[in-house]
Amino acid sequence: MMLQSNLNRSAPNAASILLNRYISSHNRNDVGVNDPKYISTFNKDNIGVSEASIYNYRGVDCCEKGKFDEGIEHFNKVIALVPKFAGAYYNRGIAYARKGDFDNAIKDFSRAIQLKPDYANAYNGLGFIYANTDDFDNAIENFDKAVQLNPDEAKTYYNRGTAYFNTDDFDNALEDYNRAVKLDPNDARTYYNRGFTYANTDDFDNAIKDYTSAVKLKPDYAEAYNGRGANYANKHDFDNAIKDYNMAIQLKPECAGFYYNRGAAYAAKDDFDNAIEDYNRAIQLQPNYAEVYNNRGTAYANKSDFDNAIPDFNKVIQLQPDYVNAYHNRGTAYINKGEYNQAIKDFSKAIDLDFDHIVLAYRGRGVAYYAEDRFYRAVDDFSKVINLTPDNPFAYFGRGQAYRNLLVFEKAIQDFSTAIRLKPDEAAGAYTERGITYHSKGDIDKAIEDYNAAIALDPEFAEAYMYRGQAYRDKGEVDKAIADYNEAIQREPERAEPYTYRGLIYNEPGEMDKAIEDHKKAIEVDPEFAEAYLNRGQAYYAKNEMDTAIADYDKAIQLNPKFVEAYTHRGNAYRAMAELDSAIADYTEALKLKPKVAESYYTRGETWLLAKEWEEAKTDLTAAVLQGVDVAAAFHNAYGSIAAFEQEIGVRLPKEIVELLIPRSEPFEIDKGTRIALGMKYYGSGELSSGLASKLAGVPREEFWHLMGDYGLSPLYVDEEELVNSGF
């Protein structure tokens, strides 16, 4: 099964492998005029001069035994004795041709024609030489002359047909092979070449018939079995293909290409172990066979063995640095390993190398950007795919997911709607994603309608039940939510999410043990599912089992070091245990990972208050105010009053902090100088980039850079995307 890249909302690093699996037929060189017998036979005419005739016969005899240099010496003597005997030049030309000395062969065939203008075999010989030097136009011109002079010579039609084939003129090639078969129906090689030509016109049935004729005439014709196998494979009849490859291998066990082809057939049947075994054998026979490394890497990848797949793709690139598919395949393997930067580099290289396959490269890079939460870049790449292939539903689907993560809900909905329109019968995933988007913008009823549509299209689609369960949960229809989670679990019992989402419903007083059991089950199903550890940690937190909760948060962070919520909740647990330094460290890490969450500044600021670190508290609470948080309301909801808090910590709050915590009917005013100082402080501590800090400071970035010198700071490079994403 060839897997398609999939963008998964809950686990983007699970993007499946998109790989190129090749079923090779033969190298084009298999169809050629390089068989010496197709030059034509030697001229054995009796010259009438006994000594010259003897040398001529000796030359022919030597050449037929492969002794071409001796043969040429004899033909030299014939020419010395009878300088105008065209047959001697012709014979010497054949000897030179068989030696690979094409320049001298051309001279001799040309001299033979000069002496005997109607010498059809000499024209055929010239055509043969030109064809073997890839000068097919001159080859065809000479074969035409040979046919004109001798229209009943099968070999000439064979040769001209092959020259036509090599110029992609398959119609004329077939016409010539047909004539050759009619004149000589017992030549297996002609059936082989005609079969190969049929294959190149996608006429696999006629190709198979010709290969069958070839093996009937020549039962030990390994290449013909290989050719027939390739055409069975092209018809997706992989069992018969494998039988033919078996026969080819039995006849020629040292041919790497046969193992390569059989491996591809096994891979097409999802029998990756046998495929890998065949690729191993091909590599043993031909260690620099780049295509085999690519296919073996693909087979490993389809077994999710990316650690073995990537070295194979590395080898392909080492052997052929411009092998575009290897960059595609390695990039996709990196996605599956969660190494998104490496994937982006590979897809970028593929984009640079090959415009013809650029859509796949943009698509793959878009997946990698999405998986790395670089949603603006993902939108750009999916937009490029859409510009190049406007009817590509996957691109709209992927861009829709990226837009949703950027909170651009209307554009996301529009893209999912387009994906549905383009492929309505396979739109369960797009309906589900559009439902998630409606849910994200608060339109739960429309979300449920879309989940219903997805389930109607595919009643076994567990994801639709799972997300509909979340919608019902948020509507307060708990029984329906649990029923949907149960349906999802029934359809995909090895999927972790429905268990932990059902557990969240039980995260209520009196049901915590049931919640913990569900989260535990999710972890059993997928021990690498960080969210389940987070959710179980929250249940333990609610039970006031802080050490156990922290252990789960630790595991969630170990599995996903960028898991902002895990740092935040672990910080809460540390704060509940009065371990304020650890709590502040976790809140700081959460803010570095996601500086746009205004409430996080308030939470850390409140913790600084508990630690009696007034200056730090003032900084964070001011930043929260600047970002629209009602700091006073949040504080009074938590502690009742300033006096109650002061009593709890046993000290009076500084006046400037009290001013921040007093409820007001008018917005709290913060002067420009204070804002700039605040931005500089966060920038200087490394918590914010210059782009984000300038937003907080309320000044253009250029002005912010100009002011940095006053604070002993220097500007750092910042991605334009980062500034756009700042969100302040």
The pLDDT value given to residue 12: 26
Residues in the chain: 728
Domain map (residue ranges) of the chain: 496-592, 596-669, 671-728
CA atoms of 52 and 83, how far apart (whole Å): 10
User: Rounded to 5 degrees, what are φ and ψ at 21?
Assistant: -110, 120
The pLDDT value given to residue 507: 84
* Residue 57 one-letter amino acid: Y
Q: How far is CA 174 from the centre of its chain?
A: 38
Q: Which residue is listed with tokens 């859509």?
A: 359
CA atoms of 282 and 298, how far apart (whole Å): 15
Q: Quick check: 286 and 13 in contact, CB under 8 A? A: no
The token duo for 9 is 């909302």
Q: Quick check: 124 and 159 in contact, CB under 8 A? A: yes
344-358 residue pLDDT tens:
999 999 999 987 789
User: Rounded to 5 degrees, what are φ and ψ at 53?
Assistant: -60, -40
Q: Quick check: 189 and 165 in contact, CB under 8 A? A: no
Vertex 184 angle, CA 179 and 189, to 5°? 90
The pLDDT value given to residue 25: 32
The parts of the chain modelled with pLDDT lower than 70 are 1-49, 668, 689-691, 705-706, 708-728
CA atoms of 631 and 608, how far apart (whole Å): 14
496-592: CATH topology: 1.25.40
Q: Quick check: 436 and 447 in contact, CB under 8 A? A: yes
Q: Dmax over Cα atoms in the chain, in whole Å?
A: 133
The pLDDT value given to residue 697: 73
The pLDDT value given to residue 174: 97
The token duo for 590 is 């959460």
Tell me which H or E stretch contains 512: helix 512-525
CA atoms of 262 and 461, how far apart (whole Å): 35
The pLDDT value given to residue 187: 96
| Contact residues for 79 (Cβ-Cβ < 8 A; gap 6+) | 85, 88, 89, 92
CA atoms within 13 A on the CB side of 528: 5
DSSP 41: P
CA atoms of 501 and 341, how far apart (whole Å): 31
The token duo for 676 is 């700039």
The token duo for 315 is 């080898």
The pLDDT value given to residue 471: 97
DSSP 458: -
DSSP 7: -
CA atoms of 248 and 241, how far apart (whole Å): 11
Angle subtended by helix axes 170-183 and 154-166, to nearest 10: 160
Q: Cβ of 509: how many Cβ atoms within 10 Å?
A: 7
96-147 residue pLDDT tens:
999 999 999 999 999 999 999 999 999 999 999 999 999 999 999 999 999 9
The pLDDT value given to residue 679: 73
CA atoms of 339 and 324, how far apart (whole Å): 19
Q: Quick check: 335 and 370 in contact, CB under 8 A? A: no
DSSP 140: H
The pLDDT value given to residue 684: 73
One-character DSSP codes across 575-631: HHTT-HHHHHHHHHHHHHH-TT-HHHHHHHHHHHHHTT-HHHHHHHHHHHHHTT--H
The token duo for 162 is 């092959």
